[in-house]
Homo-oligomer: A and B are copies of this chain.
């Protein structure tokens, strides 16, 4: 399993997140995957290498074509890490909610 830092770096670029999104709708050949992106094929190759290093894609040969497919499991580590802090953003929301409710209460009293 690739390190969390490698996975987070891989998903930190919008092009690589768009590639993950495309692959979530099914496997694709290299050119098909490269098509929607306004980048040189060389740059697509670099993005794919970073996704591969993170374990987020797999390549399989089908005849003469290479088919790329999504491997989502490394994202589980990202979810695990971020969930650890869920209560912190919930607490902030609770504080906000509390403030909002008590402001409303005061308004009713007027």
Contact = CB atoms under 8 A, between A and B. Distances in A.
Contacts of A8: 8, 11-12
Interface residues of A, number: 29
A14 B87 CA distance: 21
Q: How would you classify the secondary structure of chain A's contact residues: helix, strand, loop or mixed? A: helix
Given A24-B88, A72-B92, A88-B70, A5 B9 contact: no
Interface in A6-64: 8-9, 11-14, 17, 20, 24
Contacts of A13: 5
A75 interface: yes
Contacts of A12: 5, 8-9, 12
B79 A86 contact: yes
A101 to B, nearest CB: 19
Nearest to A83: B79
A20 to B, nearest CB: 7
